[in-house]
Amino acid sequence: MKNFTSVHDIKNIKGILSKALAIKQDPFSNKSLGQNKTLGLVFLNPSLRTRLSSQQAGWNLGMHVQVLNAGQDAWTWEFSEGTVMDGSTTEHVKEAARVLSRYCDVIGIRAFPLLQDREEDYSEPVLSAFLKYATVPVVSLESATRHPLQSFADLITIEQTWKEARPPKVVLTWAPHTKALPHCVANSFSEWMIKADVDFSIANPIGYDLSPEFVQDTPVYHDQMEALKDADYVYVKNWSSFEQYGTMPPVEKDWMLGEDFLLKNPSARIMHCLPVRRNLELGDALLDSNNQLVYEQAANRTLAMQTVLSELLSPTL
């Protein structure tokens, strides 16, 4: 694995899951792997989990960790090629990525989409520039279209909690929100579930179908309760429209899952990547129940990053 930007960088899903579960047994067993190596974490957008879990993962491997809040603290970056930089941008990403590569052995980068131009966002301008100009491995800390570390942590969470022989029924369901949100978590979760040994489907209102590239042959339901029938894992997430890009078409029914759902589906496990808007995306009754896995998912973010860093520093798969 040269970089980690999507599930497609993983050749052996079962192998990387086993590696993660072995690291979980003894997270400090490899403190010399990252000795004298530096992990650089570059954030163009806010974060709680990704920032702290990535730092923790680096420290668990003995790495030095540097964090650059590029959205606030760095020079404003130019991404277009051959441009006359006589506007508001101060430094070209060519220099930024190459200089960061002199300080760091691995670079993590977070850059959300702007949700204004679909083609532009789906071309991954920031991540692509780092992949092009950095001279060290690049890890996506969430890009315009994907959140692979979150999805890896989600898969670990399902693997750890599923004890039956049959594949679990996993449903990704849209939930309400006040703002237009990116597709990254949903796209990425779909992509990982398609590769995993699960029975996967998606529920979303009309107007909110995800990109066909990420859905592939996955069954998509526009009736939430039909989709959620007998679900073992319910992954709750909001996203804006892909078709009417970045907008929020009106939704007729109430898609927020509350106590009623839990009463009718007492064994369903509830997942969300966090941050979550309580009683808008998901009811208190679910988030405060024993059915929720959200804290385990958050804990597994460290494990996902530690596994990815281990594989980048010393490949075994």
Query: In angstroms, what is the minimal distance from the CB of 141 to ligand CP?
Result: 8
Which region holds residue 219: left if phi is over 0, alpha if psi is between -120 and 50, else beta? beta
Q: How far apart are CA 76 and CA 254, in angstroms?
A: 41
Which one of the spans 92-100, 233-241, 246-254, 269-277 is the region binding ligand CP (CB under 6 A)? 269-277
Name which of 175 and 227 has its Cβ closer to ligand CP.
175
| C-beta nearest to ligand CP: residue | 50
Name which of 78 and 121 has its Cβ closer to ligand CP.
121
Among residues 237, 229, 172, which one has the least CA distance to residue 203? 172
Under rule CB under 6 A, residue 274 binds ligand CP: yes
Query: In angstroms, what is the minimal distance from the CB of 69 to ligand CP?
Result: 13
Annotated binding site: 47-50, 75, 110, 142, 147-150, 177, 237, 273-274, 277, 301
Query: In angstroms, what is the minimal distance from the CB of 150 to ligand CP?
Result: 5
Residues touching ligand CP: how many (CB under 6 A)? Answer: 9
Looking at 3, 101, 145, 150, which residue binds ligand CP (CB under 6 A)? Answer: 150
Query: In angstroms, what is the minimal distance from the CB of 299 to ligand CP?
Result: 12
Under rule CB under 6 A, residue 143 binds ligand CP: no
Q: Rule CB under 6 A: which of 39-58 touch ligand CP?
A: 47-50
In this structure, how many other beta carbons lie within 10 angstroms of the beta carbon of residue 253? 10
Q: How far apart are CA 266 and CA 312, in angstroms?
A: 41
Where helices occur in the chain by DSSP H, the ranges are 13-25, 49-60, 93-103, 118-122, 125-133, 148-161, 184-195, 212-215, 224-228, 259-264, 284-287, 294-313
Kindly list the distances between the CA atom of residue 116 and the CA atoms of 110, 134, 185, 206, 213, in Å, as whole numbers in the listed order: 18, 27, 18, 21, 19
What pairs with residue 91 in β-bridges?
77
Sign of CA dihedral 95, 100, 106, 111: negative
Q: Rule CB under 6 A: which of 2-21 touch ligand CP?
A: none
Which one of the spans 6-14, 21-29, 60-68, 272-280 is the region binding ligand CP (CB under 6 A)? 272-280
Q: Are 283 and 257 in contact (CB under 8 A)?
A: yes
Query: In angstroms, what is the minimal distance from the CB of 10 to ligand CP?
Result: 19
Under rule CB under 6 A, residue 183 binds ligand CP: no
Q: Looking up tokens 């530096």, which residue turns up?
A: 38
Annotated binding site for carbamoyl phosphate: 47-50, 75, 110, 147-150, 273-274, 301
Q: Rule CB under 6 A: which of 236-265 touch ligand CP?
A: none
Residues that bind ligand CP (CB under 6 A): 47-50, 142, 150, 273-275
